[in-house]
Structure 1
Amino acid sequence: MSYTAADVIELDDIQHTRMRPQVNLGARVYQTAAREIVDNAVEEAGAHGSTVSIILRSDGSFTVTDDGRGLPVDSDPAGKNGIVKTLGTARSGGKFTAHADAESTGAGLNGIGAAAAVFISRRTDVTVYRAGKTYKQSFGGGYPGRFAGDGFNPDADFTRDDTQKLRGLSNGEPAVHGTSVRMLLDPSVAPDTALDITEVLLRAHAAVRMTQNVRLTVIDEGWPGGPLPAALLGSFSGPWGTGAVLDFMCACAQTPIPTLRSSVEGRGEYVTGRGPTPFRWSLTAGPAEPATVSSFCNTVYTADGGSHLNAAVKGLTEALASRAARLRDLGLAKGEDGPEPQDFAAVTALAVDTRAPDVSWNGQDKTGVSSRSLNTAMATDVARSTAVWSANPANTDTVTVWTKLALEAARARRSAEGAKSRSRAASKAKGLGTNLSLPPKLLPCRETGRGSGAELFIAEGDSALGTIKAARDATFQAAFPLKGKPPNVYGWTVAKARGKEEFQAIERILDCGVRDHCDPEKCRYDKILFASDADPDGGNINSSLISMFLDFYRPLVEAGMVYVTLPPLFVVSDSSQRIYCQDDAERDVAVARLRSGGRSRVEVQRNKGLGEMNADDFWNTVLDPGQRTVIQVRPDALGGALHHTLFGGAPEGRRTWMADAASRIDTSSLDLD
């Protein structure tokens, strides 16, 4: 086989980013791209201006404007102008000098994110205002150049020009300065993902609240898939800081906003590749139930937390537990211990902001921070500052209220742990008669109760039950077959839902209550997994179950207990191996792969249903925790707006959502014959 230099493909940065967008933008490609543009604007306004505006357009594009310095508009010796060099060139920026990078606590340090966003756009127009003149640079498919005509038409004729010289037009407003970016992301780059603009706006609001004196305006001109939550639209003009962002995040999560609170701050050093590196932090926290935590690093909302959040929670709760041990008149029973750090964590609403150079992000999407050194140094400093705060007599009442709430959590936790132990003991000792109240079609397992590792598979049809029975591990895997497709119970009363046999059976099996009375600790299983056929009907069944659990068993979803399994539609095999495939494309790739290896006989088995799968295939793909692939069900952002649109809202909302989803499909790849 010939293998020469001509066989090695070399891509430029734009081609590579469009072909492998996750490399530079993470798994949530469009989320990260939009956030990078917003983060740049917030950072520029914080350092050199005071306002940021976001306009959401009816064509799916968005405009982000700041009143900072305005991007450079001159050209370098190679002829590349400042806009192209800043937003159209990977690994470029003003933070790569040793001095600037060592001290910068901005959101962007790598010179990749904003450029990658431009690279995956269909069209981007950048407008700069400087010294009374307006400059414009366009990008088509990531490349710099000019579009024909006026307006914002991504399909207009485009002429590439890498060395375009910018000519400013007088605007008569010499005091106006800043940068405006209008971007339409290309849905064909990452067709399996979508842009959730509500999350982008949530992070924008959070970032502005962490950037002193920066104001934000969000305008919706008919964003596809709307309406958007009112809390994310309009204007924000203060106050700023961790207290303000704590109020905002609690309001968005619909959790109590603490009226009593602690605000502390500090600084220290942690170790990076440069050696000892300074950092500073601030946090606002207070007693509230349920707990709500929000973390920020260099103004970026880190939804997945990380080192700085762990340090804040650890330092705060350990200091509070230490102070609580010295309080009197808590009403402790004889021999009863006071609350522990984990109990304070269960009743604390907290927002923490960390500023540190050379941050180790968990990826380009910047959803978390990873640094053991930062965790250790910051936790110690948070504990010290909280200890000083809690020792102040003026804060004794707040500490006492906090401690009493934590004591209630401690008692509930210890009671649950005792009940769990008793449940495990009873499970091992119980006889056959204990399960007589459960549905007769339930295939039980020997282990039950939270913490037991037990799994319940809600399966499509009676035919699947035989396969599950032959393949499962009866120690910890139970199964219940559905009779037909479960109804859409979104918004139903509990009484109406219980009128459906399948709903009533699931409620009895789980035994954890519904809606406001649903308690994950009372559930008979640690995981609930939906197992439906790998076809459209199976997808509909999974959707109905997801809707049911989001509405009636939301605490189980929020606790990470609910999953969707992915049984294969095809099994491609030869004499030595079996390859599991989800769709026609994967099947064709698998067949080609086996035939390229010289196999003379390749078999393709299409699984019409779970009942037709053999036990080994079912174990490998659906049941085996060590190798199966599952999707965890999670609540959608801001209290279920998408859930309402798809299952409970007006038909127009679903039509709009489906039209938006269809617009992201490459119809040229479909076989329509």
Structure 2
Amino acid sequence: MTAEYSAHHLQVLEGLEAVRKRPGMYIGSTDSRGLMHCLWEIIDNSVDEALGGHGSRIDIILYPDGSVEVRDRARGIPVDVEPRTGLSGVEVVFTKLHAGGKFGGGSYAASGGLHGVGASVVNALSERLDVEVDRGGKTWAMSFRHGEPGVFADKGQPRSDAPFSAFEKKSELRVVGKTAKGVTGTRIRYWADRQIFTKDAAFNLEELEQRARQTAFLVPGLEIVIRDERTDEPRESVYAFAGGISEFAEFLAPDTAITDTWRLTGTGTFTETVPVLQPNGAMIPTDVSRECVVDVALRWGVGYETTIRSFVNIIATPKGGTHQTGFEQGLMKVLRAQVDQNSRRLKVGNDKIEKDDILAGLTAVLTVRLPEPQFEGQTKEILGTPAVRQIVTSVITKELGAKFSSTKRDDKARTALLLDKVVSEMKARISARTHKETQRRKNALESSSLPAKLADCRTNDVAQSELFIVEGDSALGTAKHARNSEYQALLPIRGKILNVQKASVSDMLSNAECAAIIQVIGAGSGRSFDLEAARYGKIILMSDADVDGAHIRTLLLTLFFRYMRPLIEAGKVYAAVPPLHRVVVINPGSKPNETIYTYSEAELHTLLAKLTKAGKRWQEPVQRYKGLGEMDADQLATTTMDRAGRTLRRVRVEDADTASSVFELLMGSDVAPRREFIVDSSDRLGRERIDA
């Protein structure tokens, strides 16, 4: 380090040097996320062509050598010479930042690419990139290494480490073949530069398939084919959907519908001042009229989860923006007005619905299309165009308002159900807030409003406390003697609780067992759930080790998953593991007998074989516990409740989407898929797996 600092210390990075020096600025990171972002840049260029009506198929191929290829049948990258640079269109696109056909030149009415850096950034961060273009009856080709055009001396299959010769005087766009008349398209294959990306960066097939499915929903008529050749058995997936975003909303919906999938569409215009490139190369601020097309598919279900996917020119905006703000404002405006008009029937009183009440159970796909939208950053996660908010609000207000004023019998029935649901969510929120404010751990100055059947613990240390939810009163009696009352609380439930996957929020709150559990935990439910307010550090489900016990445990987990999910996500929900058998080993002489507990049939048989081999005897018959009530307090404490010797199974949610679909399949109101699942899975169940 030197104190001297003058102009000769400054560095000017030109062309693609800046990309290689600071890749995070352009692709976010250099791990798998950045690697996938590069792939999206190439794919989105092909999608933009399909969006404009050029080409109906895109092929994506993952090769074993780590390279990836994207093929389309669109117009093909221009191969003629760009007059200002004297370079071919292909070389301009892949070597010049902020160069392309998406700056208002008329080539694209609406596109996902905006900044003209996508292809050139991918090229700069690639060890090798090959592009082939079918255009004008010929196949044109060009290759690059680290963004520099040249020729690879390949023998056989192309390799990223093949000898490379950079062009010295003039670049050459080679003609490598002929094509039939009218055949156009582009093929791009590249090898990511492992000097830039981390060692563990890899293409995520599941994420790629998810994005391809999403894009096929957003562009009806487009077929996307993904072929993974990285394994011994290549895998191919094809995505094509004719139903568009209506079908997308149905696919995303996690619950049973109470409304149809409504399609709300409309357009609006606005004026913005933008720099326009003149023929002489000057940029002059000009007032330009823009058209914004709004297309929304939405439906409400019986649940309280909200799923909103927003897109601008088919580019996902996971962090929202002005279009999503306008959408939510439109919903609020319409539904508040409708609740006010029907306040007497709905028995609303002076309470006001809030945004969360409206969004509960909503599944929506929001798309807007407009030329040159303003995004916050190259990653395009937030739309910033201010005028879009008012346009989206106007479209939602008009189209959704028309649904509520419709005289059709089906529309009237569906909108009435929706209003009932919104008001029910409002009342549930108010009720949960009241619970939260009034139910705190009792102390010397405060009486408890907790259920009388709760056998609470004495400690005020939440982290050390445990709540055992016990099946049945008979097990409760034993558990009271087996527990450590300093930190272990007991709440008995009577048999099988309500299946909340089928029931509404109001039904759940009015159910005595469900309400007692929520009240005792003391952290609310649904959207108002506050993990910090939970009264216990561990929630332990203690049920019999039989089929009914498993069913009760499943019903309880359904309640926690749907209405108190943060408890599961924080790892605070456990299942107790009571033993199945008690084996008393007879010791010779005055040595006391030894008691061994086993937890499965296989473990029992292994133990008995081991004892036989050792020449030891055991008391017959071996005790088989059919329920927790068959144990005495010492046995229950030793095996299931005492921290020193018990086993607990932590309930975890590795994939919330998968877990949600499994709960809906196994516990939801749609019976037919569940029956098919049981029939299809029956061949996996053998007699030896049945504990009988």
Question: What TM bracket, shorter-length normalisation?
Answer: 0.5 to 0.7
Pick from 73, 76, 79 the counterpart of residue 73 of structure 1: 79
The structure-2 alpha-carbon separation of the partners of 1:55 and 1:205, relative to structure 1 and needing over 3 Å to count, comes to same
Offset at 1:93? 0.8
Say yes or no: does 1:388 pair with 2:394: no
Query: Which whole-Å CA distance do the structure 2 matches of 1:301 and 1:94 have between them?
Result: 21
Unaligned runs of 5+ in 1: 445-479, 481-507, 531-548, 564-632, 642-673
Change (3 A) 1:161 1:326: same
Equivalent residue, structure 2, for 1:373: 387
Corresponding residue for residue 417 of structure 1: 433
For 1:452, the equivalent position in structure 2 comes to none
* Partner Cα distance (2:323, 2:445) in 1: 45
Partner of 1:397: 413
Whether the 8 Å contact between 1:556 and 1:562 is mirrored in structure 2 is: no
Question: Residues of 1 paired with 2:220 and 2:348: CA distance?
Answer: 50
Change over 3 Å in CA distance of 1:292–1:82 after alignment to 2: same
1:186 to 168, 185, 193: 193
> Does residue 281 in structure 1 map to residue 294 in structure 2?
yes
Instruction: Kindly indicate whether the alpha-carbon contact (under 8 Å) linking 1:124 and 1:183 is maintained by their aligned counterparts in 2.
Output: yes
Give the SS at the match of 1:525.
Answer: helix
Secondary structure of residue in 1 paired with 2:106: helix
Q: Distance in 1 between matches of 2:393 and 2:185?
A: 39
For the 8 Å contact 1:519–1:555, the answer to whether it is kept is yes
Partner of 2:360: 346
Letter in 2 for 1:237: A
Matched to 2:116, the amino acid is G
Contact 2:526 2:562 in 1 (8 A): no
Partners in 2 of 1:227 and 1:368 — Cα distance?
A: 37
Contact 1:314 1:379 in 2 (8 A): yes
Aligned equivalents of 1:135, 1:115: Cα separation in 2: 18
Match of 1:472 in 2: none
Question: What SS does the aligned partner of 1:277 have?
Answer: strand
Which residue does the alignment assign to 1:263? 263
Query: Contact (CA 8 Å) 1:30, 1:194: kept in 2 or not?
Result: yes
Q: 1:109 aligns with which of 107, 110, 114?
A: 114
Report whether the alignment pairs 1:234 with 2:224. Answer: no
1:135–1:169 Cα contact (<8 Å) kept: yes
Alpha-carbon distance, 1:66 to partner: 1.2
Aligned to 2:471: none
- Is 1:304 aligned with 2:304? no
Give 5+ residue unaligned stretches, structure 2.
275-286, 466-486, 488-516, 538-556, 572-651, 661-692
Distance 1:67 1:126 in 2: 14
Amino acid in the other structure paired with 2:88: N
2:172 is matched by which residue type in structure 1? K
By how many angstroms is 1:519 displaced? 5.7
SS at structure 1 position matched to 2:532: coil
Is the 1:347–1:406 Cα contact (8 Å) retained in structure 2?
A: no
SS at match of 1:361: coil
TM-score, scaled to structure 1? 0.61
Identity across matched positions, percent: 24
Residue 248 in structure 1 maps to residue 251 in structure 2: yes
Answer whether contact 1:558 1:634 (CA < 8 A) is retained.
no
1:173 to partner: Cα distance: 3.0
CA RMSD of aligned residues (A): 4.3
Checking the alignment, whether the CA contact within 8 Å between 1:209 and 1:241 is kept in structure 2 is: yes
Residue 127 of structure 1 aligns with which residue? 132
Q: Does 2:179 match 1:177?
A: no
Measured after TM superposition, the shift of residue 46 of structure 1 is 2.7
Contact 2:267/2:291, CA 8 A, preserved across alignment: yes
Q: Is 1:216 aligned to 2:231, yes or no?
A: no
Report the 3-state secondary structure (helix = DSSP H, G, I; strand = E; otherwise coil) of the residue aligned with 1:393. Answer: coil
Alignment partners' CA distance in 2, 1:640 and 1:364: 33
1:419 maps to amino acid: H
Letter in 1 for 2:263: S
Please, which of 138, 147, 150 is the counterpart of residue 143 of structure 2? 138
The answer to whether 1:10 aligns with 2:12 is: yes
Deviation at 1:311, TM superposition (A): 1.4
Q: Aligned pair in 2 of structure 1 residues 430, 140: CA closer, same or farther (>3 Å)?
A: farther
- Choose between structure 1 and 2 for higher RCO, CA contacts under 8 A separated by at least 6 residues: 1
- State the 1:42 CA deviation: 0.7
Residue of structure 1 in register with 2:65 after alignment? 59
Q: 1:391 to 1:131 in 2, by over 3 A?
A: same
Mapping of residues 553-572 of structure 1, within 5 Å = none
Task: Give the Cα separation in 1 of the matches to 2:101 and 2:567.
Answer: 43
Partner of 1:534: none
- Kept after mapping to 1: 8 A contact 2:225/2:238: yes
The Cα of 1:237 is off from its aligned counterpart by: 3.0
8 Å CA contact 2:518–2:525 kept in 1: the answer is no
- The DSSP-based 3-state class of the residue aligned with 2:74 is coil
Cα distance in 1 between the residues matched to 2:444 and 2:214? 50
| One-letter amino acid of the counterpart of residue 163, structure 2 | D
Q: Taking structure 1 as reference, are residues 554 and 17 closer, same or farther at Cα in structure 2, changes over 3 Å only?
A: farther
1:604-623 to 2 correspondences below 5 Å: none
Contact 1:126 1:180 in 2 (8 A): yes
CA drift of 1:315 comes to 0.7
| Alpha-carbon distance in 2 for matches of 1:237, 1:377 | 30
How far apart are the structure 2 equivalents of 1:37 and 1:211? 17
Match of 2:153 among 131, 148, 155: 148
Q: 1:440 to 1:3 in 2, by over 3 A?
A: closer
Over 3 Å counting, the alpha-carbon distance change for 1:136 and 1:555 in structure 2 is: farther
Q: Tell me if structure 2 keeps the 8 A contact 1:324–1:399.
A: no
Paired residues, number: 476
1:32-57 alpha-carbon deviations (Å, 9 max, x no partner): 21111111111112322221122222
Contact 1:129–1:135, Cα closer than 8 Å, also in 2:
yes
Equivalent position of 1:540 in the other structure:
none
**Counterpart mapping for 1:352-371 below 5 A:** 352-371=366-385
Equivalences for residues 316-355 of structure 1 within 5 A: 316-327=331-342, 332-333=346-347, 335=349, 341-355=355-369
* Contact residue 55 and residue 218 of structure 1 kept, 8 A: yes
- For residue 65 of structure 1, report the CA deviation from its aligned partner: 1.3
The question of whether the paired residues in 2 share the 8 Å contact of 1:146 and 1:160 is answered with: yes
Note the C-alpha offset of 1:343.
Answer: 1.6
SS in 2 for 1:151: coil
Report the Cα distance in structure 1 between the residues aligned to 2:136 and 2:157, rounded to whole angstroms: 24
Q: Give the conservation status (yes or no) of the 8 Å contact 1:145–1:158.
A: yes
What SS is found at the alignment partner of 1:105? coil
1:396 shift after superposition: 1.1
Looking at structure 1, the residues matched to 371 and 567 of structure 2 have their Cα atoms a distance apart, in angstroms, of 34
Separation in 1, partners of 2:231, 2:459: 48
Residues 1:202 and 2:210 are matched in the alignment: yes
Mapped to 2, the partners of 1:382 and 1:310 lie a distance apart of 12
Deviations 1:558-589 (A, max 9, x none): 799869xxxxxxxxxxxxxxxxxxxxxxxxxx
Letter in 2 for 1:127: E
TM superposition shift of 1:213: 2.5
Q: Structure 1 residue 33 and structure 2 residue 38: aligned?
A: yes
Q: Contact 1:56 / 1:223 at 8 angstroms: preserved in 2?
A: no
Q: Give the distance between the partners of 1:29 and 1:357, measured in 2 at CA.
A: 26
- Which residue is 1:574 aligned to? none
Q: Which amino acid aligns with 2:423?
A: L
Q: 1:555 to 1:127 in 2, by over 3 A?
A: farther
Work out the CA distance in 2 between the residues paired with 1:303 and 1:438. 44
For 1:518-667, list aligned pairs within 5 A: 521-525=528-532, 639=658
* Distance in 1 (alpha carbons) for counterparts of 2:518 and 2:406: 51
Does the 8 Å contact 1:75/1:165 carry over to 2? no
Whether the 8 Å contact between 1:124 and 1:140 is mirrored in structure 2 is yes
